[in-house]
Amino acid sequence: MPDQSDPSPIITIERHILDEQSFHPEATGTLTNILYDLALAGKVIASKTTRAGLAEILGRTGGTNVQGEMVMKLDRFADLTVTRLTDHTGRLAGLASEENAEFMRIPDQYPMGKYLLVFDPLDGSSNVDFNMPVGTIFGVYRRKKDFGPVDESEFFQPGRNLVAAGYIAYGTSTMFVYTAGHGVHGFTLDPAVGEFLLSHPNITIPTAKYFSVNLGYQMYWSRGVIRFTEFLQGHEGGVKGLSLRYIGTLVSDFHRNLLAGGVFYYPADTKDPKAPTGKLRLLYEAAPLAFVAEQAGGYASNGSGPILDITPDSLHQRTPLYIGNKDLVEKVEEFIRGLDV
Ligand code: FDP
Mutational pocket test of ligand 1: of 266, 317, 318, the residue with most ligand atoms within 8 Å of the beta carbon:
266
How far apart, in whole angstroms, are the C-alpha atoms of residue 54 and residue 59?
A: 9
Indicate if ligand 1 lies below 6 Å from the C-beta of 280: yes
Q: What is the pLDDT of residue 252?
A: 98
Alpha helix segments (H runs only) across the chain: 13-21, 30-49, 73-86, 223-232, 250-260, 287-295, 326-339
Give strand pairing partners of 60: 72
User: Which DSSP helix (H) or strand (E) runs through 70?
Assistant: strand 70-72
The crossing angle, in degrees rounded to 10, of helices 287-295 and 250-260 is 10
For residue 280, which atom of ligand 1 is closest to its CA?
A: 5
Mutational pocket test of ligand 1: of 125, 128, 129, 250, the residue with most ligand atoms within 8 Å of the beta carbon:
250
Q: What is the pLDDT of residue 63?
A: 59
Cα 129 to Cα 43, 70, 119, 211, 264, distances in angstroms? 20, 12, 22, 25, 23
- DSSP helix, strand, coil percent of the chain (3-state; round to 5): 35, 25, 40
- Nearest CA among 339, 254, 255 for reference residue 304: 339
Taken in order 132, 51, 185, 3, the sign of the CA dihedral is: negative
Q: What is the pLDDT of residue 26?
A: 75
- Nearest CA among 176, 232, 171, 174 for reference residue 203: 176
How far apart, in whole angstroms, are the C-alpha atoms of residue 130 and residue 329?
A: 31
Contact in structure between 117 and 95 (CB atoms under 8 Å): yes
Ligand 1 atom 4, closest CA: 124
Residue 197 CA to ligand 1 center (angstroms) comes to 29
Q: What is the pLDDT of residue 39?
A: 96
Indicate if ligand 1 lies below 6 Å from the C-beta of 123: yes
- Nearest CA among 260, 315, 259, 261 for reference residue 139: 315
How far apart, in whole angstroms, are the C-alpha atoms of residue 101 and residue 61?
A: 17
Q: Which residues of the chain are under the pLDDT cut of 50? A: 1, 55-57
**First-to-last C-alpha distance (Å) of the chain:** 72
Read off the pLDDT of residues 177-222 as tens digits, 9 standing for 90 and up.
999 999 999 999 999 999 999 999 999 999 999 999 999 999 999 9
